[in-house]
Amino acid sequence: MSNESSAAAAPLAGDAVAPISTEVWRDVGKEAKPRNAILRLLDFAGPRRKLAVIGCILSAVNAVVALMPLVFVWFVVRDLVAVAPNWSEAADVTQWGWWACVFAAAALFIYLGALMCTHLAAFRTAANMRRAALKHLGRVPLGYFDSHASGQVRRIVDGCAAQTEDVLAHKLPDFVGSLVTPVAFLAVMLVFDWVLGLVCLIPIAVSFFALWWMIGRQTKRDGMTFMVRYQDALNRMNKAAVEYVRGIPVVKVFQQTVHSFKAFSEAIMSYRDMAGSYARSCQKPQVIQLVAINATFAVLVPAGILLAHSAGDFATFLTDFLFYVVFSALTTIMMSKVMYAAEAVQMAQDSVRRIDEVLSVELLAEPPVDCGLMPRDASISFERVGFTYPGADGPALSGVSLEVPTGATVALVGPSGGGKTTAASLVPRFWDACEGVVRVGGVDVRDIPTSELMAQVAFVFQNDRLFKRSLADNIRAACPSATRAQVEAAAHAAQCDDIVSKFPAGLDTVVGAKGVYLSGGECQRIALARAILKDAPIVVLDEATAFADPENEALIQAALAELTKGKTVLMIAHRLSTVVHADAIHVLEGGHLVESGTHDELAAAGGLYAKMWDDYRTSVSWKIERGESHAA
């Protein structure tokens, strides 16, 4: 959001913010799909909806008032022509001149008032759109963000709301004024010369046809208009750009170019081809439209010459003709506003649709207030659990049943795509099981208030990210009320002493500012300190040492030992050496639980785990010698 927008969106003194609730907006969207995009946007304006209406009314009034100076200028010309060449006999010229100035000033102030009203409504609308979307996203399953890239979500929430600001603040009042102007002119032309008036309307009609040809009559492809395809292309580029930036270290290491990052390259090329094709399709109508609105004289002058022969009073006809010549200058401005307003309305309609898609994401079901159940202990159980990701062809989990007793360490292992991470994500309700029940402390996780469930579980993932805040704030994120001493104790327990000591500001060092960056292993230890500070009875580990170097891995293992002391641990592991001493190991393959037992039991059973263990031992024993690789 721009600084201007942010400032304007902030509540004024004594002006209470009254955002439209997420639930109301979702209901409005369902009940009023055929409604115009502008009306749907105004639902977000709350009490300021009236300001948008007042602004449009003032813009319409301004369109009429702005014509009056031309009328009075015409009066001046008429009086001067009537007494020519005795100019001093034109007694009312000064009076008409002052009236022209008065109406010009009035039009200016009315237009400023119109823009003030629409801007206040626009900023409140955009702010409420962002607020409603963010509030809704805060209540959707966390797994939603795994399937929707951050660049795409940001583009929808922030970009789409920003696009609506210009529509309501400028384009809507300009559009209303531009529509009223020819109507007012039609009324005026009946007073002066209706024939010349109709002649002046010919270029306007041609221009409207060209605009409809260029903007309104957009050929649909795959059921989508150009504006939908255009916004989709922008979203794809934002998504691919974020992924590319995050992958730059890999690109540099392997000396790849942007073309090697296929998704980013294809997103850019797709946008180029789509936008270029549409631009070429607009060449003819745009040329016709520009010629029509800039060449009113090309129609008016020949018509004037033809009509002059039959005019009874040539002096009167000449003054009328001069009025229409002066008015024709407004045509360019009027039609330009109509063109940009029509485009902006289409963008607003697409923005509303995309925000509506976000607001239609099913919320994480919460138990009724004061009816939530509390876990009896820190045990975890899966009872014939099945889960299918939205849009997926097949289930990620099917009929999985397992137990994690209180205080036990249980590992989930198996081939990639077997369902390990999916199973672990169902415990804190990143997703809800489609079949069966996941219980924590003997209670269905869907019956536990989210705040209580989150307090029961601490997470450490293989790709934990840090906020652009101080190290202390990053650690304190798990427990905002923690004291400085508690933060320091958690950092020490997570083996972060070397990280803290290498920066002059210590724990107050801001990550990502002034060249302060941490390695993957260091970020992982800060994340572990956060989990230690949270002190939750259940710990979910998703291969916490996957990308650590040997030195960091040793420190992380020490931190993990501190974190998991006396806790119920559910860990996902690819390095089987980390689960040898687990109380139980469950092997998942293709979404099914295929084996369960201790390391010794599974290794002796000769099943999938035994094969994985043999492969693991073989892989760690490989070494390079004299340019050849062989098993020791």
What three-state secondary structure class fits 412? strand
Backbone dihedral angles phi then psi of residue 534, each to the nearest 5 degrees: -65, -35
Which CATH architecture best describes the domain 380-620?
A: 3-Layer(aba) Sandwich (3.40)
What three-state secondary structure class fits 362? coil
CB 529: neighbour CB atoms within 10 A?
Answer: 32
Spans of all domains in the chain:
3-359, 380-620
Name the CATH code of domain 3-359 (choices 2.160.10.10, 1.20.1560.10, 2.40.110.20, 1.10.10.10).
1.20.1560.10
| pLDDT recorded at residue 515 | 65
Section 81-87 average pLDDT: 75
| pLDDT recorded at residue 408 | 92
| pLDDT recorded at residue 6 | 38
What three-state secondary structure class fits 630? strand
Q: What pLDDT, in 10s, does the model give residues 527-577?
A: 888 888 988 999 988 876 655 566 667 777 788 888 888 889 998 887 788
| pLDDT recorded at residue 163 | 76
Angle between helices 283-294 and 262-281 (to 10 degrees): 40
Q: In the chain, pLDDT over 90 holds for what percent of residues? A: 18
Distance CA 278, CA 259 (A): 25
Q: In the chain, pLDDT over 70 holds for what percent of residues? A: 79
| pLDDT recorded at residue 36 | 66
pTM over 0.85? The answer is no
Backbone dihedral angles phi then psi of residue 164, each to the nearest 5 degrees: -75, -25
Q: Copy the structure tokens of residue 8.
A: 């304007």
| pLDDT recorded at residue 107 | 92
For residue 491, pLDDT over 70 is answered with yes
Q: Is 386 or 343 the better-scoring residue by pLDDT?
A: 386
Bond from prior residue into 85 cis (ω within 30 degrees of 0): yes
For residue 435, pLDDT over 50 is answered with yes
Confidence of residue 459 (pLDDT cuts 50, 70, 90): confident
| pLDDT recorded at residue 109 | 95
Distance CA 262, CA 270 (A): 12
Confidence of residue 32 (pLDDT cuts 50, 70, 90): very low
Q: What pLDDT, in 10s, does the model give residues 350-406?
A: 778 778 878 877 777 777 766 668 888 999 999 999 999 887 888 999 999 999 999
